[in-house]
Amino acid sequence: MEKTSLYAYISFTGKDDVDDFPVEVVTEMLGVQPTTILRMGERINDVHTRSFTSWQYESETLETLDVDDVLLPILNFFQDKADSINRLKEELNLNVQIELVITMIDGYTPGLVISPQFSRFASAINAFIDIDMYIYPFSEPEE
């Protein structure tokens, strides 16, 4: 039986009129290999191409109801890189976003409590915080 699962990621994208940027500079300045790179102009399907570039680092997907289980690894990995993140934002005209992705199964809902430590980090890098929720229908009890 599937259970509710969570993962989180931090991403860098261009802001204002910046749709593309050198992801290699982000990798080098942070000293971190991204888990995903999306490049402007990549073919998404037969009809669409990607309209922006994104550098992403994603946590492990866990079956848990505690958001700290996926947010704290992001915090622990990037907290000491806040100055570098802010420099990248300034030099390359980037936005930073922290995304929490929740896949809810059978109504098992995680608590959405953000720790003060994580809030301070997100504030220090002026990050957007986005929460995506994918909610799957409740299973009908078998008779």
* Residue 64 belongs to domain spanning: 5-135
User: How far apart, in whole angstroms, are the C-alpha atoms of residue 71 and residue 88?
Assistant: 22
Predicted TM-score (pTM) of the model is: 0.87
- Does some domain include residue 104? yes
Tell whether 103 is covered by a domain: yes
Q: How far is it, in rounded angstroms, from Cα 19 to Cα 57?
A: 19
83 lies in some domain: yes
Residue 143: inside a domain: no
Residue 128: is its pLDDT beyond 70? yes
Q: How much is the pLDDT for 137?
A: 75
Q: Other C-beta atoms within 10 Å of 86: how many? A: 14
- Domain-embedded: residue 71: yes
Cα–Cα distance between 120 and 89 in angstroms, integer?
18
Q: How many domains does the chain have?
A: 1
Binned at pLDDT 50, 70 and 90, residue 142 comes out as low
Residue 130 lies in a domain: yes
- Domain for residue 19, yes or no? yes
Helix (H), strand (E) counts: the chain = 4, 6
pLDDT at 41: 79
Q: Between the CA of residue 101 and those of 35, 39, 60, 111, 137, what are the distances in Å?
A: 15, 21, 11, 13, 17
Identify whether 107 is part of a domain: yes
Which of 73-77, 88-92, 106-110 bottoms out in mean pLDDT, i.e. has the lowest?
A: 106-110
Average pLDDT estimate for 109-122: 95
